[in-house]
Structures are given as C-alpha cells and as structure tokens.
C-alpha cells in the first residue's frame, strides 16, 4: 500500500514478517485503534515494522526517525494510514475488521488533511 503524506510518499510492506510482528495484531485486536492513536511508542514500534520506505528524513525502520515527524501534519496521517493498512490486510485474510478499524470509511475521512491515497 502506498500513500502520500504531507507531500511525501510512504510505502507499506507487502507482508509483515512473523517474528517482528508476532504481537502486532494481538495488540491491535485487543486495544483497537487506540493502540496506535493513544501511545506514541506503540505507534512508532508498529510503524517501524510496517513501513517499507518513505521520503521523510531517516530510516523508517529506526524508531528515532519518528521523533522528528511533525506532530500535526505527518504523524497523525501516518497513523491513519497504518490503521487503514492493518484493516485492509486483516480483511484480505478473511478476518473481521479489528475494533476501531473500518475499511468502510474512505481513506480521506480516516486521514488528516495533506494525506492522499494512491
């Protein structure tokens, strides 16, 4: 999945490595979208495993790269794209949408201004 956030391309991985993401879906399933919305550390850890590449400064697999993202124009839209990505992946696997994650909403309503789906 690819999204443009604040004018920069972000590419999510085609698949999530089992070892690196073993507790990811359990955490999201248990806490819903709040697992990534309410806690910066949780969101950043999950993003390091889900984002393959981006046009922001730094390596998306490095937790420190997320510290420098803009609080309003970059991190919230990135988290919105992450929740959409997880919802799409679980739906594609035949699972139910996870609590707080709905693919029935459009990406534009799920993400903040400055974010577009491609």
**pTM (whole model) above 0.75:** no
Quick one: pLDDT at residue 31? 46
Contacts of residue 45, Cβ cutoff 8 Å, sequence gap at least 6:
63
What the block records as the tokens of 97 is: 């949408």
d(CA 14, CA 10): 13
Quick one: pLDDT at residue 67? 94
According to DSSP, the β-strands at 115-117 and 2-5 are antiparallel
What the block records as the tokens of 112 is: 């903040």
List, as one string, the DSSP characters of 70-89.
Answer: -TTTTHHHHHHHHHHHHHHH
Quick one: pLDDT at residue 62? 96
Per-residue pLDDT of the chain (118 residues), as tens digits, is 999 999 999 999 988 777 766 666 666 654 455 555 567 887 888 899 899 999 999 999 999 999 999 989 999 899 889 888 888 877 765 555 544 444 444 343 344 445 555 4
């Amino acid at each position: 999945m690819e999204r443009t956030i604040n004018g920069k391309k972000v590419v999510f991985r085609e698949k999530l490595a089992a070892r690196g993401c073993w507790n990811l879906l359990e955490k999201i399933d248990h806490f819903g979208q709040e697992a990534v919305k309410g806690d910066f550390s949780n969101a950043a850890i999950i993003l390091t495993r889900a984002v393959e590449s981006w046009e922001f400064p730094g390596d998306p697999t490095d937790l420190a790269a997320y510290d420098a993202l803009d609080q309003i124009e970059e991190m919230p839209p990135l988290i919105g794209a992450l929740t959409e990505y997880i919802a799409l992946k679980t739906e594609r696997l035949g699972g139910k949408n996870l609590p707080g994650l709905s693919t029935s909403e459009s990406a534009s309503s799920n993400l903040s201004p400055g974010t577009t789906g491609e």
